[in-house]
Structure 1
Amino acid sequence: MARPHGTPYGNYGHALLTANALRTPDRAALTYCGEQSFTYDELNRLVNRRAHALLASGVEAGRRVAVLLNETLKVAEVYLAQAKLGALTSALNPYWPEETLRAVVAHSECTAFVYDATVEEAVARIRPGLPGVTTWIKVGGPSAEPGVVDLDALTSGAAEDEPELGGFWDDPLALYYTSGTTGLPKAVVHTHASSLATAQIWLDVPRNPGSVFGTGAIIWGIGFPAIVGPALYTGMRLVLEQDWGPANFLRVVPRERVTHVSQIPSFYAALLAGDDHAGADLSTLRVIMLGGEPLTAALLARMKERLPDAGVYSYYGQTEAPYSCFGRVDDGGTPLGSSGRARTGCAVRVTGPDGDAVVGRTGEINLAGPHRMAGYDRLPGRTAEVLRDGWYVGGDLGVVSEDGVLTVLGRREDAILKGGRWSQPATVEEAAVAVDEVAEAGAVGVPAHEEGQDAAPQRIILAVVARAGHSLDAEKLAAALATTLPEHQRPDHIVVADELPHFQDASGGPGKLLRREIRERYQHLVDQA
């Protein structure tokens, strides 16, 4: 059969799965919850049946299909089948409120909707508000709702041969959604090509033919091309679980001989906090990828004591450009607190407020490479704001060293721009708390940075609380800070307050200083000055 674009290997599903089924058909490809196992040939045939069943349901190349699934095996089957067909998968988050689900599907203009039994009631409630969806498809048995396609019934009788491929290279593959702080989550468009580039992450990491990647139910979003894709692309065995919390982790790693994992540092803080891990055989772990949070020296030391044979890697990326940088931190190859260098084929730089690249100074992180998104779906203005001359500039601040190591400092909206230089509020706060009389401090820049607009120069408000039994004088504190902080980090106005506003954050921690509230309470003092 003649293939569009000259080769089937530009199709994400073919390159991940069919290629390995042809190369190593009998190698173990996937294990699900310790109950089901598939070779690459078996998994490919199953995905092909799903693809033919979806095609019979009306899912074809270019059609926008909302997918809301909880079961990780079904996520893999449907995503890969739709990739082969060239349908555009709208990867919905099962933890969104129903109103968000409805609004996202409507905005993305999906005309088909695939879901499973775990969300059937929610789908029934949002269905009347989605008149643009004309095809409803359920995985996991027939639906009581009228007009819903039973995908399992169609799959049972479907052919196992390769379907005609419908998407290649720069054709859109999927919409993966950001966790945006305001408004609807933005739909990030990734193509077959960008997803294949992301799948190559494990080519830069030690592995062997027996490597096993373990993961849980985080694969319904960008986790799919960032976790499932790389494991299958490199011929690993992928261990899919529904629960990847510490307790199940301690059961699954010994059972499946897991070698590679990707998590956040706080997972290991919880894992090693008690004694439950002591009796578990975790000796097979060889590569631990960590991102999303800072890794402290104390936690790294505890990890290495318990897992001496595992290499610990730090990574950085965003939904718009996954796994852009990484480096090994437990052997000194990458300084602790940094995220490593740009991986093979990718690039990172930091730019100052004037847009020029800077080294050794704080600025905005720019990411580039074939793994970068094509843009935001139906948001051309927002796309133009963040894609600049081939670089993705997403609002994170960092520092790049002379030898190309990236240290991520935080979000631009939290940072302070004064005197043409960026600073993190924590730097000002730490200097203030170092003064004996200060118990607590919070620093903000005013006015606030507006999303989508160039950053404007700011002035700094510092709010402080005196230690019990002490008093504070704003002028004396300002003089003390002038001896420890450079000009661009010195407060323009100091407020001595009885207390600072706190809130309980979503992580369940003890609470963080609400800098936004400080700005709202005290900005008028700077405006009047």
Structure 2
Amino acid sequence: MDRVEAPWRWLERLPPQLARFAGQWRGKTIADLARERVDEDPGFVALIDEGRDLTRREWLDEAQALAGALHARGFAAGDVVAFQTPNWHEAAIIDLACAIAGLVLSPIVPIYRDAEVTMMLGDCRARALFTCTRFRRYDFAEMADRIRGDLPDLAHVFTVRGDGPNDFAAMVEEGRSLPPYRPEVDAAKVKLVLYTSGTTGRPKGVLHSHNTLENIVRKSYEHWRIGAGDTLIMPSPVTHVSGYANGLESPLIVGTRVVLMESWNADEAVRLIERYEVAGTVAATPFLVELADAARRAGTRLPSMRMFACGGAAVPPDLIPSANSAFDNLQAFRVFGASEVPLVSFGWPDDPALAARTDGEVVDYEVKLVDDAGDPVAPGTEGEILARGPSMMLGYADAAQSAAAFDADGYFKTGDLGVLSEEGAITITGRKKDLIIRGGENISAVEIEDVLRTHPQVRDASVVAMPHERLGEGVCAYVISEGGAPDIAALCRHVQDSGLAKQKTPERFVFVDDFPRTASGKVRKDRLRAEVAALIEQEKTSA
């Protein structure tokens, strides 16, 4: 099989912004750590999903077998392997197999469809895709066959929970009879390319090494006092940075046990927490509210739960104390981070007041806030948040995107606005990025606008975030129509037929003659956001 050159070939050495932190890394891959965990306690059940309890020994043995099967098919260090599955234990085995073999893993969220999946696989030049067959009445294997012709680098499509010789289970069995494949793997090399929506329709491939991800999991768990033997529950997708790091990797980095939830259901979460004496989770803010309500309905105060790190959506100040009141020992707190800079703040597990009104304590990063000119602002003054530290990304897959992401001192420009207090508390006040954060899921407004503009009755479109009672933010489209207002149902079908994920379909359309604009002609999206927020508030008041 011909070698495929990774698009991040420009990244030949450790970027200077990260080199200054190299002394803080342990230099171990999760394959190294998995072997250590097996030596400690091979029978410890490290991972639980609806189908299986997976011990450390089983996890390592099956990952080693899968690594051998991939090597037998011609895969070598640096090749990209993507996976698109729900929160299944097979994802953890694929992750560890790639670490053993020195392969680069690219998780793809299951909500994505043809347009996004084709773009991501093509951008990272993936040589293989592990995909579930059917999930939630959608045929993922059929989608993979449909898009494969547009992806010349995609040599293999492997199924998960399917059948045949190219199914995950068959490959593991095949690999058991092969000689162990254990190449030397450099922990400083790229191990993950994770796509995150930006302000343009083109996704950005975030590159992490073994070192950067191991560092953030280890240090955040130390801060939260979560250690070996503790059990976490993971409802967040393991194809997101939070679900990936805390769901698939923490059992090997820290020694935890993780209960994976295929999909979020608060009542089921209560049952699982009680059954497995779960100590905590890292999840989207709406889950905290629903968990508290479900616990009250069930008449339990979930005494085993000690921590809930929440983020990914706006958090009203009264939400944390209200949720905490439903539990005996739980301290919920807000955290702030991004795929590029995971967990800039670790939260305030010991200070309920600061946990409620700020987005956490900056622990393992250097942070500065700057004005539009890039100059530092005074403490307590709003500015754009820039961060650098040992857990930040190596860069983006695209060299030009990467160069634009950092300032001259190696700080990543988050695009988020906030204030930083003298005691190190960071509070998010808004964001410069044109993103909609719907239940913790980043949605690019630009890609929806691009699709809407292809409708014959849409002259222009501007998509903004609007308040959503449960998910934090929803999708609102302001539309300048051509030849009369289009039928809203037809516009929704037009967006869905484009191949975009269903939740990118606008939930509200507002038809206007023109958009508010700056003197240079740029659309004033801040005014559109304020307008739709006021409209929703008025509707609630008059209801």
TM class, shorter-length: 0.7 to 0.9
Equivalence map 1:173-192=2 (5 Å): 173-192=191-210
- The answer as to whether partners of 1:12 and 1:195 remain within 8 angstroms in 2 is no
Match of 1:355 in 2: 374
Equivalence map 1:178-327=2 (5 Å): 178-200=196-218, 201-216=220-235, 218-222=237-241, 223-273=243-293, 277-280=297-300, 282-327=302-347
State how far apart, in whole Å, the 2-side matches of 1:519 and 1:170 are: 54
Q: 2:123 aligns with which of 83, 95, 107?
A: 107
Structure 1 residues 224 and 503, CA, compared in 2 at 3 Å: closer, same or farther? closer
State how far apart, in whole Å, the 2-side matches of 1:64 and 1:298 are: 44
- The answer as to whether partners of 1:263 and 1:291 remain within 8 angstroms in 2 is yes
Structure 1 residues 38 and 335, CA, compared in 2 at 3 Å: closer, same or farther? closer
Matched, 1:409 2:429: yes
Structure 1, 317-326 or 296-305: larger mean CA deviation: 296-305
Q: 1:149 aligns with which of 166, 171, 179?
A: 166
Displacement of 1:276 in angstroms is 6.3
Equivalence map 1:493-512=2 (5 Å): none
State how far apart, in whole Å, the 2-side matches of 1:68 and 1:266 are: 24
State how far apart, in whole Å, the 1-side matches of 2:400 and 2:93 are: 34
Matched, 1:521 2:515: yes
Structure 1, 366-375 or 329-338: larger mean CA deviation: 329-338
State how far apart, in whole Å, the 2-side matches of 1:335 and 1:281 are: 20
- Three-state SS of the structure 2 residue aligned to 1:361 is coil
Displacement of 1:309 in angstroms is 0.5
- Three-state SS of the structure 1 residue aligned to 2:222 is helix
Q: 2:40 aligns with which of 23, 34, 43?
A: 23
- The answer as to whether partners of 1:198 and 1:226 remain within 8 angstroms in 2 is no
- Three-state SS of the structure 1 residue aligned to 2:129 is strand
Aligned-partner residue type, residue 76 of structure 1: A
- The answer as to whether partners of 1:209 and 1:235 remain within 8 angstroms in 2 is yes
Structure 1 residues 136 and 209, CA, compared in 2 at 3 Å: closer, same or farther? closer
Matched, 1:375 2:386: no
- The answer as to whether partners of 1:232 and 1:238 remain within 8 angstroms in 2 is no
Displacement of 1:514 in angstroms is 7.1
Matched, 1:50 2:66: yes
Work out the percentage of aligned pairs sharing the same amino acid.
Answer: 24
- The answer as to whether partners of 1:54 and 1:151 remain within 8 angstroms in 2 is no
Aligned-partner residue type, residue 397 of structure 1: L
Displacement of 1:174 in angstroms is 1.1
Match of 1:472 in 2: none
Aligned-partner residue type, residue 329 of structure 2: D
TM-score, normalization by structure 1? 0.73
Displacement of 1:156 in angstroms is 1.3
Q: Structure 2: which 5+ residue stretches go unaligned?
A: 1-24, 135-139, 436-445, 447-462, 480-509, 522-543
Displacement of 1:408 in angstroms is 1.0
Aligned-partner residue type, residue 52 of structure 2: Q
State how far apart, in whole Å, the 2-side matches of 1:14 and 1:331 are: 36
Deviations 1:285-319 (A, max 9, x none): 11111112233343323322211311222211001
Displacement of 1:186 in angstroms is 1.0
- The answer as to whether partners of 1:251 and 1:280 remain within 8 angstroms in 2 is no
Q: Which has the larger radius of gyration?
A: 1
Aligned-partner residue type, residue 517 of structure 2: Q
Aligned-partner residue type, residue 172 of structure 2: T
- The answer as to whether partners of 1:70 and 1:217 remain within 8 angstroms in 2 is no
Structure 1, 219-228 or 230-239: larger mean CA deviation: 219-228
Displacement of 1:274 in angstroms is 6.5
- Three-state SS of the structure 1 residue aligned to 2:357 is coil
Aligned-partner residue type, residue 371 of structure 2: G
Q: 1:130 aligns with which of 151, 175, 179?
A: 151
Match of 2:384 in 1: 364
Aligned-partner residue type, residue 404 of structure 1: G
Relative contact order, CA 8 A, sep 6+: which one is greater? Answer: 2
Aligned-partner residue type, residue 18 of structure 1: R
- Three-state SS of the structure 1 residue aligned to 2:367 is strand
Displacement of 1:363 in angstroms is 0.8
Equivalence map 1:61-80=2 (5 Å): 61-80=77-96
Structure 1 residues 311 and 232, CA, compared in 2 at 3 Å: closer, same or farther? farther
CA RMSD of aligned residues (A): 3.3
Structure 1, 309-318 or 198-207: larger mean CA deviation: 198-207
Displacement of 1:505 in angstroms is 7.0
Deviations 1:13-50 (A, max 9, x none): 224422211233333311222x4223322322222122
- Three-state SS of the structure 2 residue aligned to 1:187 is strand
- The answer as to whether partners of 2:334 and 2:355 remain within 8 angstroms in 1 is no
Aligned-partner residue type, residue 63 of structure 2: V
Structure 1 residues 508 and 157, CA, compared in 2 at 3 Å: closer, same or farther? closer
State how far apart, in whole Å, the 1-side matches of 2:193 and 2:348 are: 31
Structure 1 residues 56 and 217, CA, compared in 2 at 3 Å: closer, same or farther? farther
State how far apart, in whole Å, the 1-side matches of 2:173 and 2:181 are: 16
Structure 1 residues 338 and 129, CA, compared in 2 at 3 Å: closer, same or farther? same
Deviations 1:220-276 (A, max 9, x none): 231312443234311111111212321221221111111111122222333444686
Equivalence map 1:390-401=2 (5 Å): 390-401=410-421
State how far apart, in whole Å, the 1-side matches of 2:208 and 2:77 are: 15
Structure 1 residues 74 and 202, CA, compared in 2 at 3 Å: closer, same or farther? same
- The answer as to whether partners of 2:286 and 2:471 remain within 8 angstroms in 1 is no
- The answer as to whether partners of 1:271 and 1:277 remain within 8 angstroms in 2 is no
- The answer as to whether partners of 1:72 and 1:217 remain within 8 angstroms in 2 is no
Structure 1 residues 109 and 510, CA, compared in 2 at 3 Å: closer, same or farther? closer
Match of 2:111 in 1: 95
Structure 1 residues 128 and 235, CA, compared in 2 at 3 Å: closer, same or farther? same
State how far apart, in whole Å, the 2-side matches of 1:151 and 1:511 are: 37
Match of 2:161 in 1: 140
- Three-state SS of the structure 2 residue aligned to 1:137 is strand
State how far apart, in whole Å, the 1-side matches of 2:418 and 2:112 are: 30
State how far apart, in whole Å, the 2-side matches of 1:526 and 1:55 are: 56
Count residues in correspondence.
Answer: 431
State how far apart, in whole Å, the 2-side matches of 1:373 and 1:11 are: 17
- The answer as to whether partners of 1:198 and 1:230 remain within 8 angstroms in 2 is no
State how far apart, in whole Å, the 1-side matches of 2:478 and 2:325 are: 38
- The answer as to whether partners of 1:61 and 1:166 remain within 8 angstroms in 2 is no
Structure 1 residues 212 and 273, CA, compared in 2 at 3 Å: closer, same or farther? closer
Displacement of 1:123 in angstroms is 0.8
Displacement of 1:391 in angstroms is 1.1
- Three-state SS of the structure 2 residue aligned to 1:48 is helix
Q: Structure 1: which 5+ residue stretches go unaligned?
A: 1-7, 416-449, 451-500
